[in-house]
Amino acid sequence: MEYFHRQIQLWGEDRQNSLKDKKILIIGSGGLGSSFAYALGSSGVGEICVVDFDTVSLHNIHRQILFSLEDEGKFKADIFKKRTEARFDGVCVRPFKMKADEFFKTCTEKFDLILDATDNLATRMQIDEFAKKTGASWIFTSVDSWQVQVCFIEKSDFKFFPTTTVAPAGLAAPIVMFAASFTANLALRYLANLEVKKDTLYYLNFFSGEFETKKIALV
């Protein structure tokens, strides 16, 4: 419990102990997934499954904080496991080096929560379908230019985007990490049985250098 001393000060030992029985699924281990690894992997969550078929490219590293220059060409999911378990030996990371649609076709497991760490709407549609089929909630997170969108999806359907062909624009590392932190906080609160605003789309933008937010109810 010494490892979690400051977190236990926040919510007590019983709530902290409850996290070790939680199992989450993260789709993607790039910019968002990297930050999820550090934020949630060292918070006491017992098991993390991560799905990512990709390898590290040089242009990934500036915003994908799990990786260093020596990791170029290696599988992201393998590094996710290595670095996450190295920070806290009480978490079990299971990497799946395959595309998301392949994973969804074969997976029969149940998860306490699913986290979207992808960068395309088509995969998010698949996540929503898988979540509905398995009875899990999931959190949608999108970063594009200076804007962030986050939604804890429980009852709503992922139909609030009219197209699946939108390509992401440029990204700055601090915005990616901010989005991941916002999402990870929602995830941790939910897993610890604390209040979470569900089925509400948070739209956050930093176009002016200041933080502005809007909330849109989806149900």
Please determine, for residue 178, whether its predicted confidence score (pLDDT) is greater than 80: yes
Domain extent listing, the chain = 5-217
Q: Give the pair of three-digit tokens for residue 64.
A: 């994908």
Residue 61 pLDDT class (50, 70, 90 cuts): very high
- Taking the model in full, what pTM does it have? 0.94
Residue 184 pLDDT class (50, 70, 90 cuts): very high
Please determine, for residue 9, whether its predicted confidence score (pLDDT) is greater than 90: yes
95 CB neighbour count, 10 Å cutoff: 20
Please determine, for residue 167, whether its predicted confidence score (pLDDT) is greater than 70: no
Q: What is the mean pLDDT of residues 185-192?
A: 97
Report the topology of domain 5-217: Rossmann fold (3.40.50)
Q: Minimum mean pLDDT among 12-21, 38-47, 146-155, 209-218: which range?
A: 209-218
Residue 185 pLDDT class (50, 70, 90 cuts): very high
Say if residues 18 and 193 touch (Cβ distance below 8 Å). Answer: yes
pLDDT of residue 172: 83
Q: Minimum mean pLDDT among 19-28, 177-186, 208-217: which range?
A: 208-217
Q: Minimum mean pLDDT among 74-83, 135-144, 161-170, 203-212: which range?
A: 161-170
Torsion of CA 142, 7, 62, 124, to 10 degrees: -20
**Residues whose CB is less than 8 angstroms from the CB of residue 30 and which lie 6 or more positions away in sequence, other chains included:** 52, 54, 60, 64, 76, 117, 119
Residue 162 pLDDT class (50, 70, 90 cuts): low
Residue 75 pLDDT class (50, 70, 90 cuts): very high
Q: Minimum mean pLDDT among 11-20, 134-143, 168-177, 183-192: which range?
A: 168-177
Torsion of CA 63, 64, 70, 72, to 10 degrees: -100
pLDDT of residue 97: 98
- Write a three-state SS string for the chain: CCCCHHHHHHHCHHHHHHHHHCEEEEECCCHHHHHHHHHHHCCCCCEEEEECCCECCHHHCCCCCCCCHHHCCCEHHHHHHHHHHHHCCCCEEEEECCCHHHHHHHCCCCCCEEEECCCCHHHHHHHHHHHHHHCCCEEEEEEEECEEEEEEECCCCCCCCCCCCCCCCCECHHHHHHHHHHHHHHHHHHHCCCCCCCCEEEEEECCCCCCEEEEEECC
Whole-angstrom Cα Rg for the chain: 17
Q: What is the mean pLDDT of residues 35-60?
A: 96
